[in-house]
Structure 1
């Protein structure tokens, strides 16, 4: 059984507050299954940068964040999110060089990076973030081409990596995740590969190379790993998600099957002229002219396909959430039937 499409969440909005997305970059889940979506918004205008809270049924519960800035509730270039076992939400910010920490209601608690004492390590472009089962924190630093591991008390355990394309070398690393055995997977963005490390930071293996064929990547931004060890890689530049088994063997591609979300349906119900225009339009154009047969053009011109898949996350119910920053939505898939 392959990855099965379930639903779409989200609707595009240019409003700086309220339900809807503009350049969403990541989602994560608290212990109750509530979904927290990082909405980067329009950075150049400093608008709409916030965290939105909703459940799987698309009931919206609120938001927090006060746009662009350096205050406790502001962000510059937020990238990724993760909860620890205490239901504390960690949000990386490449622009400020720190990771901000909030409670479930969005109240600021503390930050990682800067200052003195625990949690004060210097971070250079923190981007990806993940926890292991022992609450150890992993942060990729894009500007330093390294991975930092921090224990639950804020003490640095190790830092590995340097610029390059060899083992334990990175070029703008982005997404990071751990599996059930404690192995660490890093989306080595500009090296077009996934590097696998052991819990002590030693190199194990790598998967992928540059290209658009099976098992090849064009700027992989994120990776998720299921209970079987299968990897789900957001192949950002190729506008797709590739599924690999635990040994890195290609299994299949997910290209997107989006339908209208509940939020979109509700909006269209009160905007019938837009609904009528949709019904008379062809939003699934698959026979584009030859000069438009690129992943970007196909994705941008075909509504149900991925356009800007930037983040892959798996919840406690074996559901895969793919965040699309360009299409301002999240596609959800059932992966419970996948196995080697």
Structure 2
């Protein structure tokens, strides 16, 4: 049974409703993973980008990967462990009670996994296209945000499944002032219920209040190494600092947004930036990225050192140590209050669990 968290930063984790590939965004947990770092050679660059001036070695992270729920054959079935069925799971979020919510993409449904591991139905018949997401707030509400659309309509579900929708808008909401989002791909929410969205094609990050009022908070600057460029997922720290996974010329990079300034935290997080997954952050500032095309989970230290948390870099399925485990297009990420990382292993139709040793 998981303990309740305090000062929880809630999130939306974005996933694709219409394909296995996804772009998702993460969440922060105040209880960081307890790893034993050991330098080791890595195929992934351990170079830390600005503001770190010199290269640093990757870290060996001792973890165990297991399967929480789901099986090889896709489907829509409740139950525990391998008896449960998903179809390309993507976005995930955890509430204060330890319930894990999963956007079951191809089933167009939200599934709920209790702390005891029981999978049940929460919401169904979801609409929307492109990269969509779910999240939770301090009151226990669950949010559904359809991605890839020009009009942002957010649906808020109460804990008993009752729903209410509201439209995001700029200005006063009259004709001509509503914002056309262009391929919204990433988003998170804070305890107050504000939703932050990565507007990928416009290269903006916007904040949407609980009543739908949208405010632009980052983007629109000059092109350059530190500018926003097609953000696909974002995470927010407890002090309000934003982090964004962005497409770069040399692969995926992580940007830090604080005080109106954008800087590069890490380069080379993923070699193939075309499709990416969730970005997550823990209480001491370690970031986690689901490298969907690279079939692995990456960790980025507060100093910008990139290390592989789990996955061999080739598509497959297998539990075990972080170095020997395999994923197939991992998409969503969530972190619980004991330091476990949950992965929506979309191509394997399973929910995986990464536990520190």
Equivalences for residues 145-156 of structure 1 within 5 A: 145-156=203-214
Match of 1:103 in 2: 158
Kindly indicate whether the alpha-carbon contact (under 8 Å) linking 1:92 and 1:128 is maintained by their aligned counterparts in 2.
no
1:326 aligns with one of 337, 347, 356: 347
1:25 aligns with one of 81, 90, 96: 90
Distance in 1 separating the partners of 2:240 and 2:281? 11
Q: Which of 226-235 and 312-321 deviates more?
A: 312-321
Equivalences for residues 171-190 of structure 1 within 5 A: 171=230, 173-189=231-247
* TM-score, normalising length: structure 2: 0.68
* CA deviation map 1:30-57 (0-9, x unaligned): 222111100111xxxxxx2111112133
The 1:79–1:153 alpha-carbon spacing in structure 2 relative to 1, beyond 3 Å, is closer
Match of 1:300 in 2: 316
1:35 aligns with one of 86, 94, 100: 100
The 1:95–1:182 alpha-carbon spacing in structure 2 relative to 1, beyond 3 Å, is closer
Kindly indicate whether the alpha-carbon contact (under 8 Å) linking 1:211 and 1:218 is maintained by their aligned counterparts in 2.
no
Equivalences for residues 113-124 of structure 1 within 5 A: 113=168, 117=173, 121-124=179-182
- SS of 1:111's partner is strand
Runs of 4+ in 1 over 6 A off after TM superposition: none
What displacement does 1:306 show? 1.2
What displacement does 1:21 show? 1.0
The 1:64–1:134 alpha-carbon spacing in structure 2 relative to 1, beyond 3 Å, is closer
- SS of 1:229's partner is coil
The 1:32–1:184 alpha-carbon spacing in structure 2 relative to 1, beyond 3 Å, is same
Kindly indicate whether the alpha-carbon contact (under 8 Å) linking 2:93 and 2:101 is maintained by their aligned counterparts in 1.
yes
User: Max radius of gyration: which structure?
Assistant: 1
- SS of 1:209's partner is strand
Which protein, 1 or 2, shows the higher relative CO under an 8 Å CA cutoff with sep ≥ 6?
Answer: 2
Kindly indicate whether the alpha-carbon contact (under 8 Å) linking 1:92 and 1:127 is maintained by their aligned counterparts in 2.
no
Q: Which of 128-137 and 161-170 deviates more?
A: 161-170
Distance in 2 separating the partners of 1:320 and 1:40? 20
Q: Which has the higher helix share?
A: 1
Match of 1:246 in 2: 302
- SS of 2:186's partner is strand
2:129 aligns with one of 76, 81, 99: 76
1:194 counterpart = 2:254? yes
What displacement does 1:178 show? 0.8
1:229 counterpart = 2:285? yes
What displacement does 1:201 show? 4.1
Equivalences for residues 76-95 of structure 1 within 5 A: 76-95=129-148
Kindly indicate whether the alpha-carbon contact (under 8 Å) linking 2:254 and 2:269 is maintained by their aligned counterparts in 1.
no
Gaps of 5+ in 1: 42-47, 67-72, 257-294
RMSD: 3.1
* CA deviation map 1:197-252 (0-9, x unaligned): 11x5431333113765xxx9775422111111111111222211121211111344
Distance in 1 separating the partners of 2:352 and 2:317? 17
1:170 counterpart = 2:229? yes
What displacement does 1:135 show? 4.1
- SS of 1:22's partner is coil
Match of 2:26 in 1: none
Gaps of 5+ in 2: 1-35, 37-60, 79-83, 320-324
- SS of 1:238's partner is coil
Kindly indicate whether the alpha-carbon contact (under 8 Å) linking 1:3 and 1:254 is maintained by their aligned counterparts in 2.
no
Kindly indicate whether the alpha-carbon contact (under 8 Å) linking 1:239 and 1:308 is maintained by their aligned counterparts in 2.
yes
Q: Which has the higher strand share?
A: 2
Instruction: Count matched residues.
Output: 279
